[in-house]
Amino acid sequence: MDNQNSGFGKIRSIIWPIHSSELKKFLPMSFLMFTILFVYSAVRDLKDVFIQSYAVSGGAELIAPLKSVFVFPTAIFTVFLFSYLVDKYGMRTTFYIVVLSFILFFIAFVFILFPNANKIHWSQETIEYFRKISPSFLYYVIPCIGNWSYSLFFVLAETWGSIMVSSFFWHFANQVTYESEVNRFYAFYSLFGSIGRLISGKYIEKLSNVENSTDFDRNVRVLISIAIFACVLTMLTYYYINVNIVSKLKTNSFPKKRSVINPKKKFNFLKSLKLIFSSRYLFFILMLSICYGVSINLFEGVLKGHMSDISKTPSNIGKIMGKISQSTALFNIMFTFISTYILRKFKWKYSVLVTPVIILSLGSIFFSLMCSTKLKNDIISKMMFSNFALWVGMAMDSFSKGAKFCLFDTTKGIAYRPLKPEEQAQGQSAVEILGGRGGKGLGAIITMMFTSVLFPGSKILDHTVGFFILFVSVLVIWIISCHQLGNLYEEKINENNKRSIYE
């Protein structure tokens, strides 16, 4: 048994490998993850409800232009803004600025934008008029503009996931977590985050269990208000950790040349971008993020198109999204224990392969069912395959995200640790933002090519076979990238170990 698990029995080392003396740091960090993912789950589910059910001329087809035309450029702008804020104010102050900005928007949405959506959005007639006079590739972009407050909510919900989870939390965790704690703590951070997702999903499902739209509208405002409170708790927890924990960390327990958080550390995005494309190591990490984004976007596009096809009301969409969040959280918890075992017993290169293999396997079953549904002629068989495909799709979405959050994100976070401090500081934020948003943006562009350019005005479900082929192709590239990065990771670990011996 390795030294990081000393004092633990075999069962304890799997279900709770945390020393009592470590709880004063572990619990606040876990609660920080809890609040961040609670907010993310709540706003992520609601954004789909707004776009698919509330928006005029809405539907799953609007998600692709939102991600490619609006979310991806926003992600690029966010990187530059993030660079500027960190450069001017430091990482800690930037954290407070970002969270406070989200709080202000959510307050404005609850009390001003959402209650007056009918007054501030375009009518059906206006949207159809602009569709007639605009190029065909703008067919699904026009409703996004017309329903601008829902689109803005969608964009900021996506941005919260990129900034708060991928950049802030994992960068913060890498800085405050000792080497001896990494394999034990990281997966359990995700476990507590999963509890946040579980509670959020349960709330959404419960609040969606109403008979009329007025009650559901009220419940939407309640849920966003709870998310605002969670944002405040996020800031308070971050403040507590910095004041009571960060200042007391022992720097000699970190790897050689790694320093505790420097709140004024400079972040240059252009330098980071150049570093990514000049380093094979960072480039393959970027490829992992991009392939995940593209593959999951192609899959979710078909799944949400199927959801829109069989569920017409906001409450029905809300129930489905709530169930997906709950099952995702349960799979996250399951994967927490599985991932800690995998990370301790297998090489990193094998651990990082688990997520793409799961997505490829389950995704192929879902796409096969969807293709079979289109071939059925009688109504009963079509409905049976349709409902079965929905449940398989929900299970695949939850299972794959469980693997992603607890194993893929963890292994990807660990992948940065062998890098030199300046490489990690300059490369991680850019890779996470560009990779996460760029992958989903690319997947959305592919979807738009089918629904707005090649076949203007068509539905996502009309192109299920084409998406299936692209889905499998991207997964193959992902698996190859994992293999290449795994070899480079082992080389860097060996180099660092040899350097430590001679220093």
pLDDT at position 16 is 75
The model's pTM is: 0.81
How far apart are alpha carbons 96 and 91 in whole angstroms?
A: 9
Tally Cβ neighbours within 10 Å of residue 11. Answer: 8
CA distance 70 to 55: 16
Enumerate domains of the chain plus CATH numbers.
21-248+269-502 (1.20.1250.20)
The answer to whether 75 and 438 are in contact (CB under 8 A) is yes
Q: Which residue do the tokens 């009329």 mark?
A: 212
Contacts of 126 (CB under 8 A, 6+ apart): 146
Q: Which amino acid, 443?
A: G
Whether residue 107 contacts residue 229, with contact meaning beta carbons closer than 8 Å, is answered with no
Residuewise pLDDT in 10s, the chain (503 residues) = 444 455 666 677 667 778 787 888 899 999 999 999 999 999 988 999 999 889 999 888 999 999 888 988 887 788 778 878 888 888 899 999 999 999 999 999 999 999 999 999 999 999 999 999 999 889 999 999 999 999 999 999 988 987 888 678 878 887 888 877 776 787 778 778 888 888 998 888 888 888 777 888 999 999 999 999 999 999 999 999 998 888 776 554 444 434 444 444 455 556 667 777 778 888 888 899 899 989 999 999 999 888 888 876 888 888 888 888 888 888 878 877 777 777 777 788 888 888 899 899 999 999 998 888 776 666 666 777 788 888 889 988 888 887 887 788 778 878 887 877 667 766 776 787 677 767 877 888 899 999 988 888 889 999 999 999 999 999 999 999 998 888 888 888 777 666 655 55
pLDDT given at position 251 = 52
Rounded Cα–Cα distance for residues 405 and 424 (Å): 20
User: How far, in Å, CA of 452 to CA of 240, rounded?
Assistant: 49
pLDDT for 453 equals 87
Q: What is the pLDDT of residue 101?
A: 95
Structure tokens at 444: 């959305």
Q: Whole-angstrom Cα distance, residue 211 to residue 357?
A: 41
Decide if 405 contacts 166 (C-beta within 8 A): no
